Chain A
Amino acid sequence: MKTTSGHIINEAFVLDLLAKIPDPEIPVISIIELGIVRDVLIQNNGVTVKYTPTYSGCPAMDMISMQIKLALKEAGIENAKLEQVLSPAWTTEWMTETGKRKLEQYGIAPPNPIGDSDKPRCCPHCGSINTQLLSQFGSTSCKALYQCLSCKEPFEYFKCH
């Protein structure tokens, strides 16, 4: 199968397109780095992208599915299908290491591995481990609000999920 401009469509080609789609809420990481893309199927009748929503009420999910369709269409892939996979449920374990590093540079403490304590490893601004929880719920469902007791800055922590 080829795109309308003649490029061969394979999994790597599609994944490359998806890797350029930013998370609408945290634009420094891509949806690949966020770990929500489960599978890309290339069949004779078209391309199917399987993805897992992060939180069920996440308003970014509708935006993301639109962006996927748009990106594929712009690359010349017509009628791409999106399939939502609910089980196994999305977990922060699926976030890539690069994604976690980018989060930290952006000022959001990345999630710890599941099983470790569900607290930020350190303040993303100054690196201090002296932090306290302000609220279990931050500006989006996936984040909690913390404050650093060393540099006094508030910051968000991407919760283990």
Chain B
Amino acid sequence: MTSKHSSYKEPLIQYLVFLADTNLILSQRNSEWCGHGPVLEQDIAITNITLDLLGQARLLYQYAAELINKENPSANETEDTLAYHRLEREYKNLLLTELPKGDWAVTILRQFLYSVYQQLLYTELLNGKDKHLAAIAEKSLKETHYHVKWSSEWVLRLGDGTPESHARMENALLSLWMYTDEMFIAAAYEDKSITGIAVTELKKEWLTRVSAILQEATLAVPSDDLFMQTGGKTGVHTEHMGYILADLQYLQRTYPGANW
């Protein structure tokens, strides 16, 4: 099934939507902790991170909508129509971001793996081909810096903590690692000729930074011959994705155009 949204073929638009979807879906997942965090301060921390991700997603969707409308004046896209009216196969987020929130170990490890990648990627975007995207990256990076710091501290605390927290971190690593390679495999719209960035080349630095923290946290870095799952960037999602969208889009699907 497709909607009119599948007709936007311009690579930059697709790339913006990929970046936005990734942040939106991760923020949707993290927001499940709101009111359920292990302690009040950390509940507030994860919710603040969620808000940052959501705000960044909004800037990216707004820009994508602007470009779409410029090309098709009758499209009338907005940040909201892009988030609420697209179908599962039109979402391009990384698979990593749609996985269930799991326990606190899964949530913070995912945030850590993603934030280190986001920091590297957005630093490259500062010098990318598109000036407006560079400005969004500049704004976002200031926030991502906190996300890396916060999640690194938690990886250390849990990994090098009690036998229980260590075991949970090991489980989290085992279940999340196979979704990390997707970050560094360029989709067609992500080609260097379009973005100005060779995403494959970020992997080495990402692995160095992630490994340093994992080792300090007494956690073994998974071996590199592990099976790697991909698909999110081209809209082929896990079984969890439909449930997130059902939750996220419920109101606009039930009462189209509802406003308050």
The chain A residues found within 8 Å of chain B, CB to CB, are: 53, 55-59, 86-90, 134-141, 145, 161
Question: Does B210 count as interface, using CB distance less than 8 angstroms?
Answer: no
Which single member of A53, A136, A138, A141 contacts B51 (CB below 8 Å)?
Answer: A141
Contact: B56 with A56, CB < 8 Å?
yes
A11 to chain B, nearest CB (A): 25
Contact mask for chain B residues 116-138; partner A; CB cutoff 8 A; 1 contact, 0 none: 00000000000000001011101
The interface centre, meaning the residue of B55, B58, B59, B138 with most chain A CB atoms within 10 A of its CB, is B55
A contact residues around B134 at 8 Å (CB): 87
Which single member of A56, A88, A90, A139 contacts B59 (CB below 8 Å)?
Answer: A56
B contact residues around A86 at 8 Å (CB): 59, 132, 135-136, 138-139
Which single member of A58, A87, A136 contacts B138 (CB below 8 Å)?
Answer: A87
A139 to B52, CA, bound (A): 14
**With A88-B138, A141-B143 in contact, is A136–B52 under 8 Å at CB?**
no
Interface of B is mostly: helix
Contact: A59 with B51, CB < 8 Å?
yes
A contact residues around B45 at 8 Å (CB): 135-137
A contact residues around B139 at 8 Å (CB): 53, 56, 86-87, 89-90
**With A56-B58, A56-B59, A86-B138 in contact, is A138–B52 under 8 Å at CB?**
no
Can you show 19 pairs from A to B with CB atoms below 8 A apart?
A: A55-B55, A56-B59, A56-B139, A57-B50, A57-B51, A57-B53, A57-B143, A58-B55, A86-B135, A86-B138, A89-B135, A135-B41, A135-B45, A136-B146, A137-B45, A137-B49, A139-B44, A141-B51, A145-B41
Closest to B131 in A: A87
Contact: B150 with A57, CB < 8 Å?
no
A156 to chain B, nearest CB (A): 11
A119 to B125, CA, bound (A): 30
Contact: B143 with A135, CB < 8 Å?
no
Q: How large is the interface on B (under 10, 10 to 19, 20 to 34, 35 or more residues)?
A: 20 to 34
Contact: B51 with A89, CB < 8 Å?
no
Closest to B39 in A: A135
A55 to B51, CA, bound (A): 9
B contact residues around A56 at 8 Å (CB): 52, 55-56, 58-59, 139-140, 143
A contact residues around B150 at 8 Å (CB): 136-137
Contact: A134 with B41, CB < 8 Å?
yes
A contact residues around B135 at 8 Å (CB): 86-87, 89
A contact residues around B9 at 8 Å (CB): none
Question: Does B204 count as interface, using CB distance less than 8 angstroms?
Answer: no
Give 8 A-B pairs besides A134-B41, A141-B52 with Cβ atoms closer than 8 angstroms.
A56-B140, A58-B51, A58-B55, A87-B135, A87-B139, A89-B142, A137-B48, A137-B150
A56 to chain B, nearest CB (A): 3
A contact residues around B58 at 8 Å (CB): 56-57
A contact residues around B146 at 8 Å (CB): 136-137
A contact residues around B140 at 8 Å (CB): 56
A22 to B23, CA, bound (A): 30
Interface residues of B in 54-112 (CB under 8 A from A): 54-56, 58-59
B155 to chain A, nearest CB (A): 15
Contact: B41 with A57, CB < 8 Å?
no
A45 to chain B, nearest CB (A): 21
